[in-house]
Amino acid sequence: MIITHDIPWAACLSNQIFPAIKKGWKDSKMKPVHFFWGLGSNNLQEIAQVKEKGEEWWMVDVGYITDQITRYPTPSIDKYDTTYFRIVKGNLHMTIGNPGDGSRHNKLLQQGIDAEFKGWNTGECKHILLAPSSQTVCGYVHNLSQEDWIKQATSEIKCYTDRTVTMRNKPRPNNEWWETDIKDDLKDCHALVTNMSLSAVDAVLNKVPVVTHQNNVCYYVSGRLEGINERRMPAREDMTMWLRSVANNQFTLQEIEDGLAYEVLNEV
């Protein structure tokens, strides 16, 4: 039994994605299977209830390596063929993925999406970039406010390095990061530190090593905070396998509706 936890907002993209899931996901009358779009509305409480019951649940959200949706003032999918959405079982992010045969990663490259590992920046680097997750995610993952997580993370970073720590928050209308490009913050960046932000994906695709929470999609290629001065820079072969796994965990709306997402994510 497929249960979509609908968000009562007409403009929400879940109103396009959930019908595609209902059409493309093989239904089982024997057990409930829950789908959530992000952590908005009542999702935090409802996820907790589903976990308590021990029932299967999947998180649906924006993709990892994709053309971006328009977020403000009204969310929209502008390029249906190259906008991908992640579908993750029992977690906010994919942490252990199936690299498959690499065809889905090759498809991203053929579509002109920035999905290529370009190596690591081994030249002189100046600063650590701190990129927190949203207030909601910080509360869900750490039971901390975003402000408290920033203070805690900054204090821990300074235990292991004397490099300058700069910060980049999520761009929102009228904040200082609105209409700025993270690539500018990643120039001369020694490493990016985050808990769950997808800025980690931007970092590794722009030659910057990362330190992330264990449930972040980049944890497989992440270093440890105490080793931030030396940095962990995985080999190209490891990065290629990671990119293939990421590509295998995100799908276009049409691929979800056609059942491809179900087939790929339920491969034995």
Q: State how far the Cα of 127 lies from the Cα of 190, in Å rounded to an integer.
A: 6
Residue 268 has a pLDDT of: 52
pLDDT value at 27 more than 90: no
Using CA atoms, how far residue 14 sits from 9, 22, 59, 106, 160, in Å, is 9, 12, 11, 27, 42
The arithmetic mean of pLDDT across residues 51-71, rounded, is 97
191: β partners:
128
CA angle, 235 as apex, 230 and 238 as ends, to 5°? 125
Q: Which of 103, 73, 54, 44 is nearest to 255 (CA)?
A: 103
Percent of the chain residues past pLDDT 70, beyond the cut: 100
Local confidence band at 85 (pLDDT 50, 70, 90 cut-offs): very high
| 128-140: burial string, b at 16+ Cβ within 10 Å, e else | bbbbbbbeebbbb
Residues in the chain: 268
Judged by DSSP in three states, 261 sits in helix
Residue 81 has a pLDDT of: 97
pLDDT value at 96 more than 90: no
Q: State how far the Cα of 251 lies from the Cα of 63, in Å rounded to an integer.
A: 8
The arithmetic mean of pLDDT across residues 118-145, rounded, is 95
Whether 257 and 89 have beta carbons less than 8 Å apart is answered as no
Q: How is residue 212 written in tokens? A: 């992330």
Cα-to-chain-centroid distance, residue 213: 12
CA angle, 228 as apex, 226 and 230 as ends, to 5°? 110
pLDDT tens for each residue of 207-265: 999 999 999 999 999 999 999 999 999 999 999 999 999 999 999 999 999 999 999 99
Mean pLDDT of the chain: 96
CA dihedral 246→250→255→261, nearest 10 degrees, is: 80
- What is the value of pTM for the model shown? 0.95
Say how many C-beta atoms besides its own lie within 10 A of residue 264's C-beta: 17
Q: State how far the Cα of 99 lies from the Cα of 117, in Å rounded to an integer.
A: 15
CA dihedral 233→238→239→244, nearest 10 degrees, is: -160
Residue 45 has a pLDDT of: 96
The arithmetic mean of pLDDT across residues 135-161, rounded, is 97
Q: Which of 158, 157, 182, 153 is nearest to 169 (CA)?
A: 182
- Helix axis angle for 236-247 and 103-110, nearest 10°, is 90
The arithmetic mean of pLDDT across residues 165-178, rounded, is 95
- The answer to whether the bond into 75 is cis (omega within 30° of 0) is no
pLDDT tens for each residue of 175-198: 999 999 999 999 999 999 999 999
Residue 165 has a pLDDT of: 97
Using CA atoms, how far residue 209 sits from 56, 222, 224, in Å, is 34, 7, 11
pLDDT tens for each residue of 44-60: 999 999 999 999 999 99
